[in-house]
Amino acid sequence: MSHSGLRITDLRVNVAENEILKGINLAVEPGRVHALMGPNGSGKSTLAFALTGHPRYAVVSGSATLDGQDLFAMSADKRAKAGLFLSFQYPAAIPGIKVSNFLLATRNAVKPGDLPPAKFRQLVMEKMDLLDMDISFLGRYLNDGFSGGEKKRLEMLQLAVLGPKYAVMDETDSGLDVDALKAVGESVNAMRADPSSNHTGFLIITHYPRILQYIKADRVHIMIDGRIVKEGGPELANEIERSGYDTIREETALHA
């Protein structure tokens, strides 16, 4: 059996001694897109923060491995170095820190010394061209005065520059208008089509199916009350669009 993938097995997580995740099983393969959908409060963001090592989220039992490595045996920074990336719902603004310096610092933190300065700048230029971003971004302060769409595009640039093995995108579509949402979708699709990419696997966490109009999911998982209750292909997102989550809640109750 192959050990590749971000593999989550019977994961249970508490927050402030309250059980939020109640036995999650999920596997994200290299180069594939998985969508994790569910209503507010179902535990989707808890999964993202538990995977990336937020101290508030206590793993009670279960396991998570990244290409065979025990994720929970690593500190948060080592998880990033191993190839795990988290795209935040609300990226922070840091006045005084230029985007160019931030990108260099994050690359050096995750992959220390792997590129000399000239090669790093070439990489950044290539990724900005791939994502259709203006070079003026590099001279701006990190997310300072950025629109919601600009913040998300910068996160996509960071993702492209870091080249992680697996990217967890936690409600990236939150608060975005249609144009910004389309830009994020185009960015992800460009990275997936890039022959020099790392064949990144994506876990897209979302409440609404609209982002999946721009990013085709290979697999869709529905989470309700801390459990994955239904799985299927991209058509499952269309079912949510038509009927909402109540129908799935009723199905789940019938089979409980």
Task: Give 65-92 pLDDT, tens digit per residue.
Answer: 999 999 999 999 999 999 999 987 778 8
Can you tell me the mean pLDDT for 27-36?
Answer: 95
Reported as a pLDDT band with limits 50, 70 and 90, residue 58 is very high
Which one, of 106, 89, 201, 92, lies nearest residue 114 by Cα?
Answer: 106
Half-sphere exposure in the Cβ direction for 196 (13 Å, CA): 7
Q: What pLDDT is recorded for position 33?
A: 95
Res. 51: pLDDT tops 60: yes
With pLDDT > 90 as the criterion, what percentage of the chain qualifies? 66
1 belongs to a structural domain: no
Can you tell me the mean pLDDT for 147-176?
Answer: 87
- Residues of the domain holding 130: 6-254
The enclosing domain of 139 has a CATH number of: 3.40.50.300
Q: What pLDDT is recorded for position 178?
A: 82
Reported as a pLDDT band with limits 50, 70 and 90, residue 185 is confident
Q: What's the number of domains the chain is made of?
A: 1
Amino acid code (one letter) for 91: P
Least confidently predicted of 25-39, 121-135, 187-201: 187-201
Q: What pLDDT is recorded for position 1?
A: 47
Residues sharing a CB contact under 8 Å with residue 10, sequence separation 6 or more, in sequence order: 23, 24, 25, 61, 62, 63
Phi then psi for 126, rounded to 5 degrees? -65, -40
Tokens linked to 135: 């070079």
Least confidently predicted of 15-24, 116-125, 154-163, 166-175: 166-175
Tokens linked to 136: 């003026």
Res. 179: pLDDT tops 50: yes
In DSSP terms, 12 is beta-bridged to: 22, 61
244 belongs to a structural domain: yes
Q: What pLDDT is recorded for position 198?
A: 62
Residue scoring higher pLDDT (191 or 8) = 8
Ramachandran region, residue 211 (left: φ > 0; alpha: ψ -120 to 50; beta: rest): alpha
Per DSSP bridges, beta strands 166-170 and 6-15 are unpaired
112 belongs to a structural domain: yes
Give the strand order in the sheet containing 201-206. Answer: 84-87, 166-170, 201-206, 33-37, 219-224, 227-232
Can you tell me the mean pLDDT for 55-62?
Answer: 96
Residue scoring higher pLDDT (131 or 234) = 234
pLDDT single digits (tens) 103-158: 999 999 999 989 999 999 999 999 998 888 899 999 999 999 998 888 888 988 99
194 belongs to a structural domain: yes
Reported as a pLDDT band with limits 50, 70 and 90, residue 197 is low
145 belongs to a structural domain: yes
Q: What pLDDT is recorded for position 131?
A: 83
Rounded mean pLDDT of the chain?
Answer: 91
Reported as a pLDDT band with limits 50, 70 and 90, residue 255 is low
